[in-house]
Amino acid sequence: MATIQDVAKKAGLSRTTVSRVINEHPYVTEEKKRLVTQAMQELNYVPNSSARRLRRQQTETIAVYVPRITNPFFSHLVEVMEKEAAKKGYQLILCQTRYKKEQERNFLELLKTKQVDGLILTSIENDWSEFEPYLSFGPIVVCNEYSDSAQVPSVYLNQIEGSYLGTKHLIDQGYTKIGYCTGNHKSSRVSKDRKIGFLQALDEAGIMMKEEWFFYNAYSVQDGFAAFKKLSELDDKPQAVFTGSDEVAAGIAKAAFDAGWKVPEDIAIIGFDNQPLAALMDLTTVEQPIDTIAKQAMNLMVEAIQAKKPLSRKEVILPFQLIKRSST
């Protein structure tokens, strides 16, 4: 491995000058610049990034927290973030928290030990107070999730509006008996807000909700199957279901189909996210602008790192869109 010293020797110059050329500093003659470049090429020299990191006290690396990368919502988010980061010369370290508080806390060491310049959280398991102390080690940006107490920027969607939009659509189609099938992290404001928006739409339309039409802890296709089973055994069945994800919606649709039900005649279903899956299953869904979320979050992060200023609380709220298909 050639070092900067070797290059200097070969070019008959000092390390300083070589370093200047590498980092495109001014005050170097064209002549010497050429000499250095040539020496670098001959030695097949590349700057050692560990040394650079130590010297510059920064890593050009950003950690991204996701629960699981196989969840299409998060893989989409990460895909866009990686592209955006690469464009600006940053790498991404992938941290899968697996919805576990402890995992999430473990990864915080990355920031503390200076392995990354900053953290982007796309989901939050722990209380914000767990993150707070780490702010002194580098910037943190929250996206998708949000927390009232987080003293950092959050890029997110107004989930009240999103579920309101979806529910309103069902109501406009004439349904009055509407089920609600979502995950239900009690701690998560996303869950809370979705429910608020849902109830608000019902309320405005003067529609009643029954306790037995709430189905919780639904995250996956499998959960959708289970929810349909419960739903289909009710005496008084809902005519439509609002769901918290396209997977759940797809699961319900599939189970309904297998049971000989027709969608939307026997049961209308609305998904959330607008994943490719939704198009495939012809599901009406509430689209989240994932690309925009990812880009904005990454931009905020890179700005923060480069400005070397601590970030303050700030909310970037993006709009939803309803994608109408044949499941409603």
Nearest one of 250, 254, 244 to 277, comparing CA atoms: 250
Helices within the chain (DSSP H only) = 4-11, 15-22, 30-43, 49-56, 72-87, 101-107, 109-112, 128-131, 159-172, 189-205, 221-232, 246-258, 276-280, 290-307
Q: Which two tokens stand for residue 126?
A: 């722990």
Q: Give min distance, CB of 117 to its own copies, in A.
A: 11
State which residue, 103 or 158, has the beta carbon closest to its own copies: 103
State which residue, 22 or 209, has the beta carbon closest to its own copies: 22
Contact flag: residue 20 with DNA (CB under 7 A): yes
Cβ–Cβ under 8 Å, residues 283 and 270: yes
Q: Give min distance, CB of 140 to its own copies, in A.
A: 17
Residue 262 interacts, among DNA, its own copies, none and using kind-specific CB cut-offs from 5 to 8 Å, with none
Burial (CB count within 10 angstroms: exposed 0-12, middle 13-18, buried 19+), residue 5: exposed
Cβ–Cβ under 8 Å, residues 155 and 143: yes
Contact flag: residue 34 with DNA (CB under 7 A): no
Give the whole-angstrom CA distance, residue 138 versus residue 117: 6
Q: Give min distance, CB of 17 to DNA, in A.
A: 4
Tokens 């899968």 — which residue?
A: 96
Residue 94 interacts, among DNA, its own copies, none and using kind-specific CB cut-offs from 5 to 8 Å, with its own copies
Q: Give min distance, CB of 263 to its own copies, in A.
A: 13
State which residue, 84 or 145, has the beta carbon closest to its own copies: 84
Out of 34, 38, 41, 51, name the contact with DNA by CB under 7 A.
51
Contact flag: residue 305 with DNA (CB under 7 A): no
Total chain residues near DNA (CB under 7 A): 30
**DSSP summary character for residue 100:** -
Residues lying near its own copies in the complex (CB under 8 A): 46-51, 53-54, 57, 59, 61, 68-70, 72, 75-76, 78-79, 82-83, 86, 91-94, 96, 109-110, 112-115, 221, 247, 250-251, 254, 276-277, 279-281
Q: Give min distance, CB of 134 to its own copies, in A.
A: 11
Contact flag: residue 44 with DNA (CB under 7 A): no
Cβ–Cβ under 8 Å, residues 215 and 238: no
The DSSP annotation for 118-147 comes to EEEESS--S-HHHHGGGGGGS-EEEESS--
Contact flag: residue 55 with DNA (CB under 7 A): yes
State which residue, 47 or 72, has the beta carbon closest to DNA: 47
The DSSP annotation for 35-54 comes to HHHHHHHHHT----HHHHHH
Residue 13 interacts, among its own copies, DNA, none and using kind-specific CB cut-offs from 5 to 8 Å, with DNA
The DSSP annotation for 174-209 comes to T--SEEEE----TT-HHHHHHHHHHHHHHHHHT---
Q: Give min distance, CB of 251 to DNA, in A.
A: 49
Q: Give min distance, CB of 109 to DNA, in A.
A: 13
State which residue, 95 or 142, has the beta carbon closest to its own copies: 95
Q: Under the rule (CB under 7 A), what is the footprint of DNA? A: 1, 3-5, 12-17, 19-20, 22-23, 26-29, 31-32, 45-48, 51-52, 54-57
